[in-house]
Amino acid sequence: MKPITRRCFLSLSVSLACLGLTACTTLGSAGTRVTGVVAVGGPLQNASVTIVDAHGVRRTGVADARGAYSIDVDGLNAPLLISSVEAGSNTNCRFNATLRARCMASVLASVQPGINVANVNPLTDRIVSDVAVRLKYIGPQQLVDAGRAEQIRPEAILAAKQTSMAGLGTALQEAGVSDLAHFDAVTTPMKADHTGVDAVLDVINHNRNYDNPTSESAYTVLTDISFRPIVGLLGVGPYEPLDFKRATRELAAIKAAKLRVFVVGDSTAATYELERLPRMGWGQVFQDQFRPDAGVVVLNGARSGRSSKDFYMGGWYQQMGRFLRPGDLVLINHGHNDQNCDSTKKERGPADVAGLCSYPNDAAGKPQYPEGKPDMSFQKSLERYVQIARAADATPVLITPTTRVWNKERKEGFPVVHQHLTQQNATNGFAFVGDYSQTVKDTAAANKVPLIDLEARTMAFANAHEQDWKLYWLAVADIKTYPYYATQTSGIFDKPDTTHFQEKGARAVASMVAQGIRETQELGGYAELLR
pLDDT tens digits for range 475-507: 999 999 999 999 999 999 999 999 999 999 999
> 216-224 and 204-211 as β-strands: parallel, antiparallel, unpaired?
antiparallel
For residues 250 and 289, the answer to whether their CB atoms sit within 8 Å is: no
Mean pLDDT (the chain) is: 92
| pLDDT above 50 (res 7) | no
Contact between 206 and 343 (Cβ < 8 Å): no
Sheet arrangement for strand 48-52: 9-13, 103-108, 80-85, 48-52, 58-62
More confident residue, 505 or 27: 505
At 425, the pLDDT band (50, 70, 90 cuts) reads confident
Average pLDDT over residues 159-182: 95
Which range, of 128-132, 264-268, 360-364, 457-461, averages the lowest pLDDT? 128-132
Cα 21 to Cα 372: distance, rounded to the nearest angstrom: 51
Domains observed in the chain: 9-189 (2.60.40.10), 260-527 (3.40.50.1110)
pLDDT at 27: 43
Angstrom distance (rounded) from CA 218 to CA 228? 19
State what percent of residues in the chain have pLDDT above 70: 94
Chain segment 187-201, per-residue pLDDT in tens: 999 999 999 999 999
Distance CA 360, CA 436 (A): 5
> Are 172 and 104 spatial neighbours (Cβ–Cβ below 8 Å)?
no
Cβ(341)–Cβ(373) under 8 Å?
Answer: no
Whole-angstrom distance, CA of residue 390 vs CA of residue 349: 35
Residue 30's pLDDT is what?
56
Distances (CA, A) of 323 to 253, 261, 265: 11, 10, 17
Does the pLDDT value for residue 264 go beyond 70? Answer: yes
Average pLDDT (231-243) is 93
- Rounded to two decimals, what is the model's pTM? 0.94
pLDDT score at 327:
98
pLDDT tens for 437-451 read 999 999 999 999 999
Out of 100-109, 111-120, 226-235, 312-321, pick the least confident. Answer: 100-109
The predicted structure's pLDDT at residue 459: 98
Residue 1 has pLDDT above 70, yes or no: no
Report the C-alpha dihedral over residues 418, 345, 306, 242, rounded to 10 degrees. Answer: -120
Q: 11 falls in which pLDDT band (50, 70, 90)?
A: very low
CB 273 within 8 A of CB 232: yes
Are 210 and 304 in contact by the 8 Å Cβ rule? The answer is no
Is the peptide bond preceding residue 278 cis, with omega within 30 degrees of 0?
yes
| Mean pLDDT comparison of 89-98, 324-333, 340-349, highest-scoring range | 324-333
- Range with lowest mean pLDDT among 18-22, 32-36, 136-140, 518-522: 18-22
The answer to which of 125-139, 376-390, 444-458, 469-483 has the lowest mean pLDDT is 125-139
For the chain, percent of residues with pLDDT exceeding 90 = 79
> According to the 3-state scheme, what is the secondary structure of 40-71?
CCCECCCCEEEEECCCCCEEEEECCCCCEEEE
Distance CA 293, CA 217 (A): 40
75 to each of 61, 148, 163, 363, how far by Cα in Å?
16, 18, 34, 64
pLDDT confidence bin for 12, thresholds 50/70/90: very low
- pLDDT at position 114 over 60: yes
pLDDT higher than 50, residue 3: no
Region 509-531 average pLDDT: 98
The pLDDT of residue 44 is 93
Task: Give me the half-sphere count of Cα atoms (radius 13 Å) on the Cβ side of residue 292.
Answer: 0
Which of these, 384, 381, 383, 371, lies nearest to 431 by C-alpha position?
Answer: 371
What is the structure's pLDDT at 78? 86
Q: What pLDDT score was predicted for residue 84? A: 81
pLDDT attached to residue 16: 35
Alpha helices by DSSP H, listed for 395-435, are: none
Q: Helix, strand, or coil here: 331?
A: strand
At 92, the pLDDT band (50, 70, 90 cuts) reads very high
Check residue 8 and give its pLDDT: 44
Beta strands in 360-469 (DSSP E): 395-399, 421-422, 434-435, 451-452
Q: What pLDDT score does 389 carry?
A: 98
pLDDT band, residue 77 (cuts 50/70/90): confident
